[in-house]
Amino acid sequence: MIRILIVDDEKPICDLIDLNLSAAGYQCMAVQDGIQALSLIESRSFDLILLDVMLPGVNGYDIMEYIRPLGIPVIFITAKYAVKDRVKGLRLGADDYLVKPFDVVELVARVEAVLRRYHKTDNILSVEDVVVDVDGRRVTRAGRLVELTNKEFGLLVLFIRNKNVALFRETLYEQVWEGEYTGDSRTLDLHVQRLRKKLGWEHRLAAVYKVGYRLEVPE
């Protein structure tokens, strides 16, 4: 189980991150104060720390200085969006930088990216008989290799990482095609169609009316 520490002085934000990361299968702890964060880092071990910059007690950059020798990956989450602030955070050794307000899907994706870089995440995802090797870009269904295009693969990974979450068309489009969603969803629909066919997921990949798609997996 991957343990994540959330340090943000705003309780609502802590809870928001906590809820979403817990849903994605991580174990989270949240503190609202720099000194508490330091004592927690000292007493327990974490796989990732999400750190706000403006904190009561000890400032986020100072905490970063303390964390760096420990080699724990850090993502800064802050409202400071100026380039110099971002550069400062990254210089200090942060692995990523997320600016408020952020999209929850983006947060989850970045957390995963950082964890993957540190080889802390499971690179083999599976839903029943479908197994996805993220690094090897191989997908097998019941042991047989399934050929997927790049976009189909990206879609599949996104769906599996967000099981039972209704993913909006624009979110899917922005994450997989990495471009602005222009309202033309035919491409997306086509890809989902093919994915359903190739994996036999006609019922799993449910269309959500006026929203997008959801991978439904009984829990």
Partner 1 sequence: MRFSRKLLLWTIIIMALAFGFSGFYFVNYVFETAITRETGQAMEESSILQFAFQTAALNVPVKYDVLSDQAIEQITDNLAGGGGGRRIQVLDEQGQGIYTGDGFPDDKALFSQTDSAHNAYEILCQEERYYIRTCTIVDVLNRTLYLETMRDVTEVFRERQLGFTVYRRVTLLMLMVGSALMHGVSSWLTRPIRLLTRATRRMAEGEYAYRARKVSEDELGQLTLDFNRMAGALEENVGKLEEEVKSREEFVAAFAHELKTPLTAIIGYADMLRSHRLDEEKLCLSANYIYTEGKRLEAMSFRLLDIMVTKRSEIQVQMVEASLFFQYLSHMYQTNRTMYFQFFYDPGKVRAEPNLMKSVLMNLIDNACKASEPGSLIQVIGRAEESGYRFLVKDQGMGIPEGEQEKIMKAFYMVDKSRSRSRNGAGLGLALCSEILTIHGSHLEIESQVGKGTTMSFLLPWEGQGVVHCKGGKRNKAARSEDRE
Candidates 64-72, 97-105, 140-148, 187-195: pick the segment binding partner 1 (CB under 8 A): 97-105
The pairing of strands 96-99 and 130-133 is unpaired
Contact 156, 148 (CB under 8 A): yes
The token pair at 118 is 């540190």
How far from 108 is each of 36, 55, 83, 115, 180, CA to CA, in Å? 24, 23, 23, 11, 19
d(CA 152, CA 33): 42
When the beta carbons of 20 and 121 are compared against partner 1, the nearer one is 20
Give yes or no for residue 93 binding partner 1 (CB under 8 A). no
How far from 49 is each of 13, 68, 78, 194, CA to CA, in Å? 14, 11, 13, 38
Candidates 62-70, 74-82, 120-128, 140-148: pick the segment binding partner 1 (CB under 8 A): 74-82
Give yes or no for residue 108 binding partner 1 (CB under 8 A). no
In Å, the largest CA–CA distance within the chain is 56
Interacting residue with partner 1 among 3, 57, 131, 141 (CB under 8 A): 57
Residues 130-169, mask of contacts with partner 1 (x by CB under 8 A): ----------------------------------xxxxx-
- Cα–Cα–Cα angle for 124, 126, 128, nearest 5°? 155
CA 219 to chain CA centroid, Å, is: 20
Give yes or no for residue 87 binding partner 1 (CB under 8 A). no
Interacting residue with partner 1 among 44, 68, 91, 100 (CB under 8 A): 100
When the beta carbons of 155 and 165 are compared against partner 1, the nearer one is 165
Interacting residue with partner 1 among 29, 40, 104, 160 (CB under 8 A): 104
Beta bridge partners of 4: 28, 48
As measured in angstroms, the least distance from the Cβ of 85 to partner 1 is 10
Give yes or no for residue 32 binding partner 1 (CB under 8 A). yes
Query: Which parts of this chain interact with partner 1 (CB under 8 A)?
Result: 9-10, 12-13, 15-16, 19-20, 23, 32, 54-57, 79-82, 100-105, 164-168, 211
